[in-house]
Structure 1
Amino acid sequence: MSLLQALKIVTSKRPTQLTPIQHRRNKLIKKLHEQSECAKARAEGRDCSFKRYRTLKNKETGERTQVEQQYSIKQWWYTNDEGKTIFEIRYGSRLVEIAKGKTGVEIDSPEKLVETIDLLKRAIEAGELDEGINALVGAFGRQIKKK
């Protein structure tokens, strides 16, 4: 008996690119991860900054070098008059509707902020906010066509 006969052989084709909705989900999950890390840093009393690499070209020699840059992000949460923390999800500069007409999540205490962000990440992975994201992307498209 051949060793290959013990395996299940199939024809397959690896996808070369993500679907647009999966790309949007991944983009939003990455931003939520940054917000989560920023919330952890603020809870520990540290500053919140991230690093990214940029490739720059020297005009004189034509040589390309990678430079590490630090950047900071704007936090998506605030404290209201009642002392409760409100977390809003942004896609670009716009707020994502989580429920019909509602864009914020109320959190009783700042300690639960990271848990809430992780829960929102899982909801996005499951596709529960696709409708709100698609509404924003459609609005972007309409604005571009009007010009």
Structure 2
Amino acid sequence: MGVPNALNTLRFVDAARPRSMPAVQQRRNKLINKLWEQIQLAKSQLEHTHFVVKRRVTVKDLEGNYKSIERPKRIRPWWFMAADGTLCLSVFYGSKRLELVPGKTFISVKNMNDLIKTLELLKSETEAGSLDTVIEAASGALKLNFNRNR
């Protein structure tokens, strides 16, 4: 018995699934998720709607029992209105502001539509791996803060 005709169009390979994701990809995914949240927050502000991300937390009730409930996650915008009327955007990795260009941490955009386009551009560049060195530097700085506190 042979393989059915429809399956002849597929390319079958032997491959081993990796046990863990590389650290570089984990960092990219973290920044991509945060950029997605910022894009959705900007779109909701532009459309005058609410954007809510829920997260699961464990709380202790009055009897001392632990329950897992959903709470809204607080998302702070990464942009603000400058004195001249433009929007200034900074990108964060954790609590560290990323220096995308040496010596510069803010991106100036005209309006909310440009802000959304800029965030989407940053997200696609992160997916392509263009910001890996900047993310690596911020990750290293965050690790130093954790080691200092011990």
Instruction: Give the TM interval when normalised to the shorter protein.
Output: 0.7 to 0.9
* Equivalent of residue 26 in structure 2, options 19, 23, 27: 23
For residues 9 and 59 of structure 1, the distance between their equivalents in structure 2, rounded to whole angstroms, comes to 57
Unaligned residue ranges in structure 2 (runs of 5+): none
Report whether the alignment pairs 1:14 with 2:17: yes
**Contact 1:107/1:113 (8 A) holds in 2:** yes
* Percent identity for Structure 1 against Structure 2: 34
**Partner residue in 2 for 1:2:** 2
**Partner residue in 2 for 1:118:** 120
Report whether the alignment pairs 1:99 with 2:101: yes
For residues 141 and 53 of structure 1, the distance between their equivalents in structure 2, rounded to whole angstroms, comes to 25
Report whether the alignment pairs 1:50 with 2:59: no
- Residue by residue over 1:87-134, the C-alpha shift from the partner in whole angstroms, topping out at 9 and shown as x without a partner, is 110011110111111111111122221111111100100111111111
How far has the Cα of 1:65 moved from its partner?
5.0
- Greater shift in the superposed pair: 98-107 or 8-17: 8-17
Q: Secondary structure at the match of 1:3?
A: coil
How far has the Cα of 1:45 moved from its partner?
2.0
For residues 102 and 120 of structure 1, the distance between their equivalents in structure 2, rounded to whole angstroms, comes to 15
**Contact 1:48/1:72 (8 A) holds in 2:** no
* Equivalent of residue 139 in structure 1, options 115, 137, 141: 141
Q: Counterpart amino acid of 1:42? A: Q
Q: TM-score, normalised by structure 1?
A: 0.83
Report whether the alignment pairs 1:38 with 2:5: no
- Residue by residue over 1:70-99, the C-alpha shift from the partner in whole angstroms, topping out at 9 and shown as x without a partner, is 122111001111111111100111101111
Q: Secondary structure at the match of 1:26?
A: helix
Q: TM-score, normalised by structure 2?
A: 0.82
**Contact 2:98/2:134 (8 A) holds in 1:** yes
Taking CA–CA contacts closer than 8 Å with sequence separation of 6 or more, which of the two structures ends up with the larger relative contact order?
A: 2
How far has the Cα of 1:10 moved from its partner?
2.8
With over 3 angstroms needed to count, the CA separation of the structure-2 counterparts of 1:143 and 1:78, relative to structure 1, is: same
Q: Secondary structure at the match of 1:39?
A: helix
* Equivalent of residue 132 in structure 2, options 109, 112, 130: 130
- Number of aligned residue pairs: give it: 146
**Partner residue in 1 for 2:82:** 80
How far has the Cα of 1:47 moved from its partner?
3.6
How far has the Cα of 1:19 moved from its partner?
0.7
- Greater shift in the superposed pair: 53-62 or 84-93: 53-62
With over 3 angstroms needed to count, the CA separation of the structure-2 counterparts of 1:98 and 1:3, relative to structure 1, is: same
Unaligned residue ranges in structure 1 (runs of 5+): none
